[in-house]
Amino acid sequence: MKLRLTIISLLTLCATLSAQEPTDYTEWVDPFIGTANYGTTHPGAVVPHGMMAVVPFNVTGSDLNRYDKDRTWWSTPYDNRNSYMVGFVHGALSGVGCPDLGAIVTMATTGEVTPDRRLRGSEYSNEAATPGYYTAQYTKYDILAEATATERASIERYTFINGGEANILVDLGTALSNESGAMVRRVSDTEIEGMRLLGTFCYNSQAVFPIYFVVRVSMPARQSGYWKLQPEMTGIEAQWSGDSGEYKLYTRYSREIMGDDIGAYFSMGEVAPGTQIEVKVGISYVSIENARKNLEAEIGNTSFDEVHAAARNSWNESLGRIRVKGGNDNDHTIFYTALYHALLHPNLLSDVNGEYPAMESGKTMLSQDGDRYTVFSLWDTYRNLHQLLTLAYPEKQSDMLRSMVAMAEEWGWLPRWELYGRETFTMEGDPAIAVITDSYLKGLRDFDVEAAYRAMLRSATTRGCDNPIRPDIDPYIERGYIPVGIFAADMSGDNSVSHALEYYVADHALSLFAREMGDKESAKLFAKRAEGWRNYFSEESGTMRPRLDDGSWLTPFNPEDGSHFSNTVGFHEGSAWNYTFFVPHNVEGLIKVMGGKKRFVDSLLGVFNNGHYDPTNEPDIAFPYLFSRIEGEEWRTQQLVTELLDKHYTNTIAGIPGNDDTGTMSAWAVFSMIGIYPDCPGEPYYTITTPRFDSVEIDTAHGTISIDVEKESDEDMFIDTIMLGNKAINRYRITHDELMENKNLTIKLKH
């Protein structure tokens, strides 16, 4: 049984550390939270928004012959329930729902060089992780493995506790997704270089791209070379049939090798007990030359401990932008771990020289105005994560805005779910519009505004046959809704209602942007389109309901169909109950069509009381905040948010309600715990709820703002009065500008 040591358990040994004012914010982060229960986070070494992430790759069970069939890692290289390590991967994603990346696997071993990942795997113990650092001991080899990272490079340090014949293996045949193809070239007895193909995210075979690398070891190899699966062995059966002899070793005299299941090795011979070997890795999505430049610029001759210290400092600066006081140790751990996860993606794409692969073409381009970012999981992150970045990390968000607009200039379209210069066409909607509008209305305007507006109009007006972002836009424009059966490219089948509801939110945001641009006619047009959701509301079911091509309702119809990620007509990853209240831009209108405030409240309560609310997915995550739109019902928001935090966000490996979706679920926790939530993508508003802490300070583009709580007892949960600056207000929704101008929000609680 492996022993897991986290920084949280170490904290209990230090009685002098104050729970209220930690001197090191990283001490409150537990990277193991979310590594079970399909949270798909990882405990690997990474810096904020880093291109590089060094992540342990573990597999299930002692029978590694079953590795391909019974894996429990799903879309991440690491799952805390697994027990066998097969090395570190480089550049892995965090909190995604489809397998991708997780390649360039490095591992230290002793004895004979064993390429087969099944046979070289080892149980491990003494596992620990803090932001920017990971370590574990390979029990099979008595090797202590450590990893730390910079933005585009990494160092691993292997301590051969009992000595032995030391090897460093670089496996290019293992990855999370289905694409194949790699090349590795020997540079010297201490260095190799090469590339590997990645992609096919969510099974999109078109979204394939290369990753380039340089691997450098600190000790000259007595023998080095390559391995390759024997030519006569093909397919999955050959890969896992169980004989390491399937792999042919090639000596160092070979210049390079290419193939689908290849790798390289460095054999150092017999080393003394306690010998340490460092492995430095640089990556790039442009070229091998740039991977080497990234490695030299960010690590060079820097020691492991120096890189680790720099990573820790980087995390402290980022985490320290939001400072909380009060609450208990668990509150601090949950909060700062959520903030940590929210700062992993989007991540850097450009190299140290500013070069990056252009959207779709892969052509090398040079960023002239800041860093280029990638991994825009916008169907998820447009709801709250980008609002968090706008609030506390505006310089990063500005670079991301410029990145999205540049993608539209290079490719023609704003991204929906972009991955390393490829659009994966995952999920639905046109979410970039709301992200750009939201940031613009909050004062971030250092990007090509005219180009952004052109791109928004293009996706909102181009006919479906020429529109990859809104392929079912024609009936949406002509009728105000999308009938069943018009477009069903998603694996789950027809998602017509889900698609349209997303378009309504996007078009509402576009109407606001058009108004800012002085385009009154377009503002009016898109505001009208944004009201098309009314076409889907069925008084009979009391929910949104799919319509057929002739305008009639889909019959038979059960609003509960599609719950828990089961497929149903009209809705993506959810039921009608998960989507019915997703009209954030016109809650008042939805209340009216539902028959008034009482019926609205009763129906919304039914979502929670009858188990229809899904905290693991995006469409309904803002539903708890809707009660605050109705006078006298605001307390329900405060109670529900408190209960949801207590139930679904915990200091455990399963402490995220489900797939973190590149930080979206974590951003929900961050906002909910500080007491404000961005309730409508594209609108610069926050709904106020009960903060988790006595005091919160946030560094923003407009200076430091604070949220303070006054209460007589820890049992006080409900809001009594709200002071915005020096003025009492009797509403639970404020604008971003109001918060920035007044600098302080004081909330008095009652029992």
pLDDT in tens, 559-601: 999 988 787 999 999 999 999 999 999 999 999 999 999 999 9
H/E stretch holding 192: strand 191-199
Here the CATH number for the domain that contains residue 512 is 3.30.2080.10
For 285, phi then psi, to 5°, come to: -105, 15
pLDDT tens for 356-396 read 999 999 999 999 889 999 999 999 999 999 999 999 999 99
pLDDT computed for residue 251 by the predictor:
64
Q: Are residues 326 and 300 in the same domain?
A: no
Q: CATH number of the domain that 171 lies in?
A: 2.70.98.10
The per-residue pLDDT for range 600-658, each reduced to its tens digit, is: 999 999 999 999 999 999 999 999 999 999 999 999 999 999 999 999 999 999 999 98
- Residues 222 and 310 placed together within one structural domain of the fold: yes
How far is the C-alpha of 367 from the C-alpha of 371, rounded, in Å?
7
Contact between residue 418 and residue 374 where contact means Cβ atoms under 8 Å apart = yes
728 CB-near residues (< 8 Å, 6+ apart): 721, 722
- Cβ-contact 659, 705 below 8 angstroms: no
**Residue 148 pLDDT:** 98
Whether 132 has a pLDDT exceeding 80, the answer reads yes
Tokens of 540: 């009979």
pLDDT, mean of residues 139-159: 98
Return the DSSP state at 25.
Answer: G
Residue 557 has pLDDT above 60, yes or no: yes
Domain assignment present for 154: yes
Of 72-86, 528-542, 685-699, where does mean pLDDT reach its minimum?
72-86
* Domain's final residue, options 270, 289, 317: 317
Within 10 A of 10 (CB to CB), how many other CB atoms are there?
12
Q: pLDDT tens, 257-313?
A: 998 889 999 999 999 999 999 999 999 999 999 999 999 999 999 999 999 999 999
Mean pLDDT for 158-184 is: 90
| Total length of the chain | 751
Based on the domain organization, do 269 and 415 belong to the same domain? no
Strands (E) across 389-541 are located at: 417-419, 422-423, 537-538
Whether residues 199 and 56 fall in one domain:
yes
Cis bond before residue 556 (omega within 30° of 0) = yes
The residue ranges of DSSP E strands in 583-679, in sequence order, are 676-677
Asked if residue 2 belongs to a domain, the reply is: no
Average pLDDT of the chain is 91
254 plus 367 within the same structural domain: no
Helix (H, G, I), strand (E, B) or coil at 240: coil
DSSP state of 387: H
- List the domain range (segments joined by +) for residue 721: 320-750
pLDDT band at 68 (very low <50, low <70, confident <90, very high): very low
Q: What tens digit of pLDDT does each residue of 476-496 get? A: 999 999 999 887 554 446 899
Confidence (pLDDT) at 246: 73
Give the model confidence (pLDDT) of 86-108 as tens digits: 999 999 999 998 877 889 999 99
Q: What is the mean pLDDT of residues 33-41?
A: 92
According to the model, what pLDDT value does residue 239 have?
A: 37
- Overall domain count for the chain: 2
- Buried b / exposed e over 671-705, threshold 16 CB at 10 Å, is bbbbbbbbbbbbbbbbbbbbbbbeebbbbbbeeeb
173 neighbors 294 (Cβ within 8 angstroms): no
In a domain, 610, yes or no: yes
- pLDDT at residue number 178: 63
Residue 1 is assigned to a structural domain of this protein: no
Is residue 270 a part of any domain in this protein? yes
302 & 331 share domain:
no
Lowest-confidence pick of 238-247, 305-314, 396-405, 416-425: 238-247
Closest C-alpha to 639, from 670, 616, 605, 663: 605
pLDDT over 70 at 62, yes or no: no
| Dist. CA 674–CA 692, nearest whole Å | 6
pLDDT in tens, 326-358: 999 999 999 999 999 999 999 999 999 999 999
Say whether 50 sits in a helix, a strand or coil: coil
Whether 67 shows a pLDDT value over 70: the answer reads no
| pTM given for the model | 0.94
Strands 703-710 and 744-750: parallel
Q: Note whether 395 and 307 are same-domain residues.
A: no
Strand pairing class (376-377; 417-419): antiparallel
Residue 395 lies in a domain: yes
Average pLDDT over residues 518-523: 98
**Rounded mean pLDDT of 720-749?**
98
Contact 673, 335 (CB under 8 A): yes
Does the pLDDT at position 249 exceed 90? no
Q: Are residues 430 and 475 in the same domain?
A: yes
Residue 59 is predicted with a pLDDT of: 81
Separation CA 175–CA 101 (nearest Å) = 6
Q: What per-residue confidence (pLDDT) applies to 202?
A: 77
List CB contacts of 404: < 8 A, sequence separation 6 or more. Answer: 376, 414, 415, 432, 435, 436, 452
pLDDT at 100: 76
* Residue after which a domain boundary falls, among 284, 317, 350: 317
Residue 667 and residue 696 in one domain: yes
Do residues 292 and 354 both lie within one domain? no
Domain end, chosen from 262, 290, 317, is at 317
Q: Measuring CA to CA, which residue among 276, 269, 283, 284 is closest to residue 303?
A: 276
23: pLDDT strictly greater than 80: no
Asked whether residue 66 falls in the same domain as residue 131, the answer is yes
Looking at residue 173, what DSSP letter applies?
Answer: S
The answer to whether 418 and 380 are in contact (CB under 8 A) is no
Give the residue-averaged pLDDT of 216-244.
67
Judge if 343 and 222 occupy the same domain: no
Instruction: Give the pair of three-digit tokens for residue 249.
Output: 């070793």
